[in-house]
Amino acid sequence: MALLGCGKERLYGPEDNPKSLRDVTGVEFGWSCDQQGCNVTRLAGTPPPDPCRNGNAADSAYANSWARFVEICSVCLGHEKGFYWSSTPGQCRLVACNTDANCPAIYESDPASAYACVDGLCQNTDSARFPRDTLNRYDVESLCFAVHPRANTVDPLAPTVMEIESTVAGACPSTDPTVGCPLPAGCRMP
C-alpha cells in the first residue's frame, strides 16, 4: 500500500490496473499508470482523437472520466489555468469488459474508486454511492450514446446527437442531473 498524504494509506495503485482499456465500440486504448495516477494513451490501432475546433492537432487527445462508470472521451486540451480539457457527451464512450481484470482502479483522488465488470461494463464497486438499481441523467446519457459509433456523435449538432439528447431529456426531465430516471428503450442496459 502506498501513502496518500498525512499518513493515509492508499488502497490502490498502478499495479491494480490493466495495461489497456476497451470502450463499448470495441476501440482499444492504452492505460498508463504511475504513482500519480493513470492516463489514456493511444495504441497502434487506436484512431486519432476528434479534431478540435481551433484546428490545433496538438490539442486533440483522449482522457477519462469516472463516477458510476468509467468513460474514455475524445477531448480538446485547455490552455487556461484550472482548465484541463473539454468534451461533449457524444465524444465519450463507456469502458467495456469481460472480467474484473479489464477494469481500472482510480486512485489519484479521494475516495479511490474501484471498478468491477458488471454486465460487460466497468461499474463502480461502491454500491452505496452508486446503487445498481438507480440511474441518473449522466448515466442515462452515457448508456444512450453507448450504442452508437463515435463517428456518428462527434458533432454536437449531428442528427444522432440531437435525437439522443431529446430522448434523454424526455426520460430525465429534472434539471438536477443527480435525480433518478428510467433508461429509455434502445439504450445500452447497465
103-124 confidence digits (pLDDT tens): 999 988 767 889 999 999 999 9
pLDDT band per the 50, 70, 90 thresholds, residue 9:
low
| pTM of the shown model | 0.89
43-100 confidence digits (pLDDT tens): 999 999 999 988 888 899 999 999 999 999 999 998 877 778 899 999 999 999 999 9
Instruction: Give the span between the Cα atoms of 41 and 31, in whole angstroms.
Output: 6
What Å distances lie between residue 79 and 36, 48, 65, CA to CA? 21, 20, 19
**Which residue has cell 493515509?**
8
Instruction: Give the span between the Cα atoms of 105 and 132, in whole angstroms.
Output: 18
